[in-house]
Amino acid sequence: MNREDDLGHGDIEAALATRRELGARYDAELVDGFAERIERAVERRVSEEVALRQRRTAGAEGGRLRQFVLGVISLGVGVPVTIVPMVATDNGLPAVVVAWLGIAAVNAAHASAVNGRRATGD
């Protein structure tokens, strides 16, 4: 951000003082110069806001994609985790339940983290 683009009360006072010193014949130039500075300041602020919104949107989309991929991987891991204990042991149900609770906990923790970042705007 340029100091030149940073508008404040002092800038308005300076423009009015300049007008008093130079007279009315330079009004158009003074107004044009001040208007250009206002336009640059507005454009800068708008572009900063657009960039911030784009970063937030990209972050939210990335979180959703990661959550989807984690869900697919969880299902891929869950199938063998279910089949192996059930086939290899007489009573593999407790092992299957523990494995699926772990898979569910990992997915829930990730979803909570993604939603937490989305709520804070990171």
In the chain, what are the domain boundaries? 9-120
Q: What's the chain's average pLDDT?
A: 81
pLDDT > 70 fraction of the chain, expressed in percent and rounded: 87
User: In 108-120, which positions are buried (b, 16+ CB within 10 angstroms) versus exposed (e)?
Assistant: eebeeebeeeeee
Each residue's pLDDT tens digit, 47-97:
999 888 888 777 667 777 888 888 899 989 899 988 888 888 888 889 899
pLDDT value of residue 9: 74
Spatial separation of the C-alpha atoms in residues 116 and 76, rounded to whole Å: 26
What backbone phi and psi angles, to 5 degrees, belong to 57?
A: -65, -45
pLDDT value of residue 102: 93
pLDDT band per the 50, 70, 90 thresholds, residue 1:
very low
Q: Which residues contact 64 (CB under 8 A, 6 or more apart)?
A: 114
